[in-house]
């Protein structure tokens, strides 16, 4: 059983997403087959000590894959250990100061799915 001939693998497989330090958005609806989901990786170490960004109209989920992190958003501070995750609503400023870590970030447009049923930590 083969794949359909119209499958566009360069819009489905993304390699070397770990090559850049800081926040690197590698998958978006513009460059993938995803209609609403974006994917980024945040890698902090001594050379890239923090990231600060606004998620705009996108709801955001952060998953700490290694190390630990402090996430500051919505006037609150949250500590994440390995495999912890946090939901951050749209229109939020997000600040992650230096701690050696690897975070996967997923964002999606709010009209696509209700993330509230999957909240680990809510920042409101």
Residue 3 — very low, low, confident or very high, per pLDDT cuts 50/70/90? low
> CA-CA distances (angstroms) from residue 120 to 10, 88, 103?
33, 10, 15
pLDDT for the residue numbered 123? 41
Question: Which residues, 6 or more positions from 37, have their beta carbon under 8 angstroms from its beta carbon?
Answer: 27, 29, 106, 107, 108, 112
122 or 22, greater pLDDT = 22
pLDDT for 26: 85
Question: What local confidence, expressed as pLDDT, does residue 25 receive?
Answer: 86
Cβ atoms of 62 and 97 within 8 Å: the answer is no
Digit-coded pLDDT (tens) for 40-99: 888 888 788 889 999 999 999 998 888 888 999 999 999 988 889 999 999 999 999 866
What is the set of domains in the chain, with CATH numbers? 34-118 (2.60.120.10)
Q: How is residue 15 written in tokens?
A: 């390699």
Beta bridge pairs of residue 76: 73
DSSP states of 68-85? -EEEEETTEEEEE-TT-E
Return the minimum-mean-pLDDT range out of 8-22, 29-43, 60-74, 99-113: 99-113
Q: What percent of the chain has pLDDT over 70?
A: 72
Size of the chain in residues: 124
């Amino acid at each position: 059983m083969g794949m359909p001939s119209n499958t566009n693998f360069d819009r489905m497989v993304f390699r070397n997403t770990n090559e850049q330090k800081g926040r690197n958005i590698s998958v978006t609806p513009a460059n993938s087959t995803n209609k609403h989901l974006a994917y980024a990786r945040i890698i902090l170490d001594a050379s890239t000590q923090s990231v600060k960004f606004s998620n705009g109209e996108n709801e955001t989920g952060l998953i700490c894959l290694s190390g630990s992190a402090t996430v500051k958003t919505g006037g609150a501070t949250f500590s994440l250990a390995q495999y912890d995750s946090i939901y951050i609503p749209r229109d939020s400023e997000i600040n992650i100061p230096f701690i050696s870590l690897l975070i996967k970030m997923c964002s999606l447009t709010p009209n696509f799915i209700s993330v509230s049923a999957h909240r680990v930590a809510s920042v409101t």
